[in-house]
Chain A
Amino acid sequence: MSSLTRRRARLLRPAAAVAAVALAGTALAGCSSSSPTDAAASSSASGSGQALSGTITVFAAASLQKTFTALSATFEKEHPGTTVKFSFGGSDTLAAQITQGAPADVFAAASQKTMQTVVTAGDSTGTPTVFVKNTLEIAVAPGNPKGIKTLADLTKSGLKVAECASTVPCGSAAVKALAAANVKLTPVTYETDVTSALTKVELGEVDAALVYHSDIVGADGKVDGVVFSTASAAVNSYPIDVLKGSTNSTLAQAFVAFILSDSSEQVLLKAGFQAP
């Protein structure tokens, strides 16, 4: 079955080139009311037979690692002959790399601010679209042995807490949430991305860390989550966009459309993200 689709894909490749030219044509003429992204979305929805090909590199926030890796496998299966490569990291690091000319096709950031860095530098192709939201939660050891219930509990003496550095989205969200709760927290470390903060909890090196709800869902029971009241003050929006430096913008647009699709949203929601 899969070999059949692959053969079909190969046959259809010239057709796709024509389609791509046509797509570029409508975009240039400006006579189409739909954006190129929408066009790619509709063609993506119309079936898996279209012949996308090649490789794209997606720079994505560390908190997206599990879901994006799973989603890309689905995408590659739907479009044989395509390869989606990832570079996961702190959104600020990725944004800095993109503005320094790193070869990326798509950027999915964990905050509007880090995406804005890329937009301001002129490295994004259009208006980034928010595809999910994420809320902070307190990650604690399974069973919550220290009995942490609120943000204020984190300031108890002898408690070791990891917070993200304020340059990364989870860090700036933590600053907001703590300010809203009027809690002055001195962590033992400012981690450079959310996953390393979570790892420190999993290893038992810290008693708690401020991470995303989706990270706690993704940890598969290795940590427990404690919801706190001011979390709503620090909800992060995740925008995604095709980058100007993309060498395969057709595939990049198709991937963005795929992430924005309903089926992908279901996967993201199941992983603990919220609808935009």
Chain B
Amino acid sequence: MIRKAGRTGRRPGRRLNQGRAPVALLLPSLLGLAFMVLPVIGLLVRTPWRQFTADLADTDTWTALRLSLECATAATGVSLVLGVPMAWLLARTELPGRGVARAMVAVPLVLPPVVGGMSLLLVFGRTGLLGSYLDRWFGITLPFTTAGVIMAESFVALPFLVISVEAALHGLDPAIEEAAATSGAGRLQIFRWITLPNLLPAIAAGAVLAWARALGEFGATITFAGDFPGTTQTMPLAVYLAFQDDPQSAIVLSVVLLAVSITLLAILRDRLFTRV
């Protein structure tokens, strides 16, 4: 059913695409594409393939990669749990201070990640505003732990999810929700059975963006969570450190990270977006 709708929906677009693209649009888009692809090509050209297998056998590489994937996935989970309700609240209610809240959601986007990490340290650090109580009352310290990495990554990833879900909510025809309401459904019921299923593509798209952002996180992580192999040293940190000492192995690590993330994104894209 959905598949059919998708196909008919795509047809007029395809007709429009026939014919030649105007140079004024073609040129900048090709330039933009080259700008994005060239660094990747540069990386591949300079990859020491002979060293590749030796570095792949290094368990530290896999430790860092696994930690990266786990933390990015956990941060995406956190973003989903907190972000979807937040997006609904921003789009569907008249709560006071929504404008301010919406602006605050964008803060991690404009804030340099290092500043984000520093601020997290000042709030959740051992002597931080809340962190000192966490430490005193529960004996919990977040810096230098994997939980700290997930926090830092969630901080930078959350806006991507909220913004894409909120945009989709605005695009969703409220008539369906209103129809459900006149049939006597409660707000939570409507959200669960009407809004959420319609939002799934947007939630998936937001989650992929959040995951990708979390996977590449560096500044907030190294500032807030420090750098220790196995607990807080994610791939971006491992690449940075390797680059100081042994640029060749930094390139290998980068290619591994690139390959894994592109593969995963391609799989997710196929699964999630072909039906949109």
Query: Count the A residues whose beta carbon is within 8 Å of the partner chain — how many?
Result: 22
Contact A205 B241 (CB under 8 A): no
Contact A165 to B241, CB < 8 A, known contacts A189-B232, A203-B127, A205-B126: yes
State whether A189 touches B127 (Cβ < 8 A).
no
B130 to chain A, nearest CB (A): 14
Known: A167-B244, A189-B144. A162 touches B125 (CB 8 A): no
B244 touches A92 (CB 8 A): yes
B127 with A192: CB separation less than 8 A: no
CB pair B226 A191 closer than 8 Å: yes
Interfacial residues of chain B within 228-259, with CB under 8 A of chain A in the complex: 228-229, 232-233, 240-241, 243-245, 247
Q: Is B222 an interface residue (CB 8 A)?
A: yes
Residue in B126, B227, B232 whose CB lies within 8 Å of A192: B227
Q: How far is the CA of A184 from the CA of B91 in the complex (A)?
A: 55
- Whether A187 pairs with B228 at a CB distance below 8 angstroms is yes
A203: chain B residues within 8 A (beta carbon): 121, 125, 127
Q: What is the CA–CA distance of A191 and B222 in the complex, to the nearest angstrom?
A: 8
When the two chains form the complex, which single residue of A92, A93, A187, A205 contacts B127, counting CB atoms closer than 8 Å? A205
Interface centre among A167, A189, A191, by most B CB within 10 Å? A189
| Chain A residues, Cβ within 8 Å of B232 | 189
B143 lies within 8 A of chain A by Cβ: yes
Q: Which of A191-210 contact B (CB under 8 A)?
A: 191-192, 200, 203-206
Contact partner of B247 among A96, A165, A206, CB < 8 A? A96
Q: Please, which residues of chain B bring their CB within 8 A of the CB of A191?
A: 226-227
| Contact call A188/B226, Cβ cutoff below 8 A | yes
Contact present for A204 and B245 (CB under 8 Å): no
Report A-chain residues with C-beta under 8 Å of the C-beta of B245. Answer: 92, 167
User: Across the interface, which residues of B come within 8 angstroms of A187, CB to CB?
Assistant: 228
Distance between Cα atoms of A211 and B141 in the complex (Å) = 23
Place the interface of chain B in its size category.
20 to 34
> What string of 1s and 0s marks CB contacts (under 8 Å) between B124-147 and chain A?
011100000000000001011000
Q: How far is the CA of A188 from the CA of B143 in the complex (A)?
A: 9
Type the 1/0 row for B103-133, where 1 means its CB is closer than 8 Å to any CB of A. Answer: 0000000000000000001000111000000
CB pair B227–A90 under 8 Å, yes or no, is no
A258 to B40, CA, bound (A): 44
Interface residues of B in 195-238 (CB under 8 A from A): 222, 226-229, 232-233
| Residues of A with C-beta under 8 A to B229 | 190
B116 → A minimal CB distance (Å): 16
Question: Could you say which residues of chain A place their CB within 8 Å of the CB of B247?
Answer: 96, 100
Known: A204-B125, A205-B127. A190 touches B227 (CB 8 A): yes
* A127 CA / B240 CA spacing, docked (Å): 29
Question: Cβ of A160 and Cβ of B144 under 8 Å apart?
Answer: yes
B247 to A: closest C-beta gap in Å: 7
Q: Smallest CB–CB gap between B133 and chain A, Å? A: 14
Residues of A within 8 A of B127 (CB): 203-205
Say whether A190 contacts B125, CB under 8 Å. Answer: no
Does B228 contact A205, Cβ atoms closer than 8 Å? no
Question: Does B228 contact A192, Cβ atoms closer than 8 Å?
Answer: no
Q: A188-B228, A189-B226, A204-B127 are in contact. List 6 more A-B contacts (CB 8 A).
A: A90-B244, A96-B243, A162-B226, A187-B228, A188-B144, A192-B244
27 A-B pairs (CB sep. < 8 Å) = A100-B247, A160-B126, A160-B141, A165-B241, A165-B244, A167-B241, A167-B245, A168-B244, A187-B228, A188-B143, A188-B226, A189-B144, A189-B226, A189-B228, A189-B232, A190-B227, A190-B228, A190-B241, A191-B227, A192-B222, A192-B227, A192-B241, A203-B121, A203-B127, A205-B121, A205-B125, A205-B144
A residues whose Cβ falls under 8 Å from a Cβ of B: 90, 92-93, 95-96, 100, 160, 162, 165, 167-168, 187-192, 200, 203-206
Q: Which residue numbers of B lie inside 8 Å of A, CB to CB?
A: 121, 125-127, 141, 143-144, 222, 226-229, 232-233, 240-241, 243-245, 247
